[in-house]
DNA sequence: ACCTGAACACCGTTCAAGT
DNA sequence: ACCTGAACACCGTTCAAGT
C-alpha cells in the first residue's frame, strides 16, 4: 500500500538507499564538496529537510557513503569468485589453495571501486572510526590468509599493509600539467628545462619513462600497473616471511 | 620600520606564516573541520577578512597547510643526516652507500609528521593536485635510489609504493572501542562474543595479538612496528627486483 | 599597506506546521 | 508517516570604508 501511495504521487518514494545513490552520483560528478543537503535534495526533487527522515544529518550521510563504498567492494569481489552456476567439482582440492591469488583479487576489486569513486579514500581516512561493515572485509582477507598458512601475527601486518595501499594509491605522483604547454611547444620546452634544473633526477625519470612508453597506449604513468607491482611486492614479501622466521624466500 | 610599527600596536604583525601556524595548531587541537576563516581569525585576535591580505581564500589556506606539512617533513628528515658540524670524513666511501637506509629514514620522517598531524593524509589526498614542493621530496628519494643502482623505472614504482604507504598508513585497523566495556566487564565479554560470532578469524587474531602483547607496553596494535614492517617489506622487495629482471633475491 | 564593518549567498539544522 | 516553510546560527567571500 505504501508503494501505491507513492505511485499516486507520481514519484518514487524517498529512501535511505535512494538518497545515498544520489549522493554517490553527485560526488562522482561534482566532487564530494558539492554533496550538500540542499543540493542533494534538489537532485531528488525534494526539500532539504526531507532527507532527515531517512538519514541522521550530514555526518550520517557521510557514514552512509562509506558503507555504500564498502558494499560496492563486496559486490565487486563477489562477482569474480562466483561461477555461472556453482563453483564446480574442481573446488575439492583445497591443498592447492593459493592465498595470494585470493587476496590479490580482493585488493584489485577494492581498487576498482576506489578508482570509480576517487573521493572515497579521502572520505574514509577522514572519518573518525572504521565502520563495522569494514570488519567483514578484514575477516574475509584474514580467513584466506590463515587458510593459506599465515600466522595471526603476519595476517595482522598484512591487513595494515594492504589497507594502506588500497587507501593511499589513488593519487598520481604527477599531474600531467593540463593546459600548460598544450598550445605552445616552445613554452612547454622551457618549462621542462626549468623543471629539469630544479629536480634533475625526476626530469630524467619522466623522460626515460616517456620514451619507454612510446609504444604503450596507456601513457607513461600506468597507475594500474604500478598498483599491481606494489601489490605483488607486498604479497611476495608476506609469502617469504611466512616460510620461517624471516629468511630469504625460496 | 615595519616591526617598529607592529610593536607600537602591541601585537605581532599578521603574516602568512603566522596564519598557517595557527591553522595547524587549530587542526591538531580541534580537527581540520574546525579550521574556519572566522575561528582562525579569532585565534589570531583579528577579524576574518584580515586573513585575505595574506592568503587567497580558504582554498589557498588549505594549499598552504599542505606546504607546511611538506616543510615539516623536510625539517624532520634534515635533522637526521646533519651531523654536529659537518658530515665528516667518513662520507668519502660512496661505494658503501645503502639506498635502503637513506630512503627508510625519509619515510620514517614523513610518518612522524603524519602521526603528529593526523588530518594531513586526508587533506593531501583530497587536494586536486600535488604541490610543486612535493617534487623536492620525490627528487631526494629518487636521487638516493638512482645512486643506489636502481633504474628509473623501478624508482618510479618505488615512489608510488612508498607514497601510498606514507599516505595510507595512519588509520588504525580497529578502533579500541572506547567507553564501550570500560565500566561493565560482563557487557564487554558479551560484545566480544557477538564480535567472534560474526568475524571469527578477526576475533581470534585480536585474542592472539592481545596475548602476545601482554608484556609489550605499546599495546596489542603497535602501529609503528606495523609501519616499519611494511616499509622493510617494500624496500627489500625493491632491492630484490633491482638485482636483475625480477628473479628471486640473492 | 593593512585592517574593518556590514552585507550577500550559502550551509546544516530546529521546529512548528501541514497532509 | 512523511514532507514542508520559515527561521536560526554559521560559513566563505565581496566591497566600500576606515587608518
Give residue-wise pLDDT tens across range A90-139: 555 556 789 999 999 999 999 999 999 999 999 999 998 888 899 999 99
Whole-number Å distance, CA B34 to C1' D10? 12
CA-to-CA distance for B161 and B171, rounded, in angstroms? 17
Nearest to B164 among A126, A142, A165 (CB): A165
Residue pair B72/B113 in contact by the 8 Å Cβ criterion: yes
What pLDDT does A247 receive?
A: 42
CA-to-CA distance for B201 and A146, rounded, in angstroms? 8
Mean of pLDDT over chain B: 85
What pLDDT does B4 receive?
A: 43
Closest CA to B129 of B58, B68, B63: B63
CB of B32 within 8 Å of a chain A CB? The answer is: yes
Closest chain B residue to A248 measured between Cα atoms? B249
- Rounded mean pLDDT, A190-201: 92
Higher pLDDT, B3 or A67: A67
- Counted across chains A and B, CB pairs separated by less than 8 A come out at 185
Nearest to B209 among A129, A153, A237 (CB): A153
Q: How far is A21 from chain B (nearest CA, A)?
A: 21
CB of B42 within 8 Å of a chain A CB? The answer is: no
Share of chain A above pLDDT 70, in %: 80
List, as own/partner pairs, every contact residues A150-153 make where C-beta atoms lie below 8 angstroms and the sequence separation is at least 24, other chains included. A150/A99, A150/A238, A150/A242, A151/A242, A152/B204, A152/B205, A152/B208, A152/B209, A153/B208, A153/B209, A153/B212
Using DSSP, state whether B152 is helix, strand or coil.
helix
What pLDDT does A130 receive?
A: 86
Q: Tell me the pLDDT band of B84, cut-offs 50, 70 and 90.
A: low
What pLDDT does B6 receive?
A: 43
CA-to-CA distance for A14 and A44, rounded, in angstroms? 8
Subunit contact B168:A163, Cβ cutoff 8 A: yes
Q: Is the pLDDT of residue A248 over 50?
A: no
Share of chain B above pLDDT 90, in %: 66
Q: Is the pLDDT of residue B237 over 90?
A: yes
At which residue does the C-alpha cell 581516512 appear? A125
Task: Decide: CB of B54 under 7 A of nucleic strand C.
Answer: yes
- Provide φ and ψ at B150, rounded to 5°: -75, 155
Q: Which residues of B touch A236 (CB under 8 A)?
A: 237
CB of B175 within 8 Å of a chain A CB? The answer is: yes
> In chain A, helix, strand, coil percent, each to 5?
70, 0, 30
Nucleotide minimizing C1' to CA distance for residue B59: D12
Chain B residues 96-155 within an 8 A CB cutoff of chain A = 119, 121-126, 129-130, 135-136, 138-139, 142-143, 146, 152-153, 155
Q: What is the largest CA-CA distance in chain B?
A: 72
Whole-number Å distance, CA B25 to C1' C16? 42
- Highest mean pLDDT: which range of A243-247, B10-14, B103-107, B204-208: B103-107
Burial B95-115 (b: 16+ CB within 10 A, else e): eeeebbebbbbbbbbbbebbe
Q: Is the pLDDT of residue B79 over 90?
A: no
Q: Tell me the pLDDT band of B92, cut-offs 50, 70 and 90.
A: low
In strand C, which positions have an atom below 7 A from any protein CB?
A: 1-6, 10-16
In eight-state DSSP terms, residue B249 is P
Q: Which three cell numbers stand for residue A77?
A: 569481489
Subunit contact B199:A236, Cβ cutoff 8 A: no
Chain B residues 211-230 within an 8 A CB cutoff of chain A = 212, 221, 223, 226-227, 229-230
Task: Decide: CB of A243 under 7 A of nucleic strand C.
Answer: no
Whole-number Å distance, CA B48 to C1' C6? 13
Q: Which three cell numbers stand for residue B31?
A: 580537527
DSSP code per residue over A205-229: HHHHHHHHTTT-TT-S--HHHHHHH
Strand C close residues, chain B 81-110, CB < 7 angstroms: none
Q: Tell me the pLDDT band of B12, cut-offs 50, 70 and 90.
A: low
CA angle A33, A35, A38 (to 5 degrees): 125
Q: Is the pLDDT of residue B208 over 50?
A: yes
Give the lowest-confidence range in B30-44, B151-165, B174-188. Answer: B174-188
Nucleotide minimizing C1' to CA distance for residue B44: C3
Q: Is the pLDDT of residue A7 over 50?
A: no
Residue pair B44/B19 in contact by the 8 Å Cβ criterion: yes
Task: Decide: CB of B14 under 7 A of nucleic strand C.
Answer: yes
| R_g of chain B computed on alpha carbons | 23
- Rounded mean pLDDT, A206-227: 84
Q: Is the pLDDT of residue A249 over 60?
A: no
CA-to-CA distance for A170 and A33, rounded, in angstroms? 18
Q: Is the pLDDT of residue B80 over 60?
A: no
Question: How far lies B58's CA from each of A188, B38, B63, B72, in Å?
Answer: 30, 11, 9, 21
Mean of pLDDT over chain A: 85
Q: How far is B204 from chain A (nearest CA, A)?
A: 8
Give the lowest-confidence range in A49-53, B90-94, B238-242. Answer: B90-94
Q: Is the pLDDT of residue B39 over 80?
A: yes
Q: Tell me the pLDDT band of B129, cut-offs 50, 70 and 90.
A: confident
| R_g of chain A computed on alpha carbons | 23
Measure the N-to-C terminal CA separation of chain B; round to a whole number of Å. 66
Amino acid at each position: 500500500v505504501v508503494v501505491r501511495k507513492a505511485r499516486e504521487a507520481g514519484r518514487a518514494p524517498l529512501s535511505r538507499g535512494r538518497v545515498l545513490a544520489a549522493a554517490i552520483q553527485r560526488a562522482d560528478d561534482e566532487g564530494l564538496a558539492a554533496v550538500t543537503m540542499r543540493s542533494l535534495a534538489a537532485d531528488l526533487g525534494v526539500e532539504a529537510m526531507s532527507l532527515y527522515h531517512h538519514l541522521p544529518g550530514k555526518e550520517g550521510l557521510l557514514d552512509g557513503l562509506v558503507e555504500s563504498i564498502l558494499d560496492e567492494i563486496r559486490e565487486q569481489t563477489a562477482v569474480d569468485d562466483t561461477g555461472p552456476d556453482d563453483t564446480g567439482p574442481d573446488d575439492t582440492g583445497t591443498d592447492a589453495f593459493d592465498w595470494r591469488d585470493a587476496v590479490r583479487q580482493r585488493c584489485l576489486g577494492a581498487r576498482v571501486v576506489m578508482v570509480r569513486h576517487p573521493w572515497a579514500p579521502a572520505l574514509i581516512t577522514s572519518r573518525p572510526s572504521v565502520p563495522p561493515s569494514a570488519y567483514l572485509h578484514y575477516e574475509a582477507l584474514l580467513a584466506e590468509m590463515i587458510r593459506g598458512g599465515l600466522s595471526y601475527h603476519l595476517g595482522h601486518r598484512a591487513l595494515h599493509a594492504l589497507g594502506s595501499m588500497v587507501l593511499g594509491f589513488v593519487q598520481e605522483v604527477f599531474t600531467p600539467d593540463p593546459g600548460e604547454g598544450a598550445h605552445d611547444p616552445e613554452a612547454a620546452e622551457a618549462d621542462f628545462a626549468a623543471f629539469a634544473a630544479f629536480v634533475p633526477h625526476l626530469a630524467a625519470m619522466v623522460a626515460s619513462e616517456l620514451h619507454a612508453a612510446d609504444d604503450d597506449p596507456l601513457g607513461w604513468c600506468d597507475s594500474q600497473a604500478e598498483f599491481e607491482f606494489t601489490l605483488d611486492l607486498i604479497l611476495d614479501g608476506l609469502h617469504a616471511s611466512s616460510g620461517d622466521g624471516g629468511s630469504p624466500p625460496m
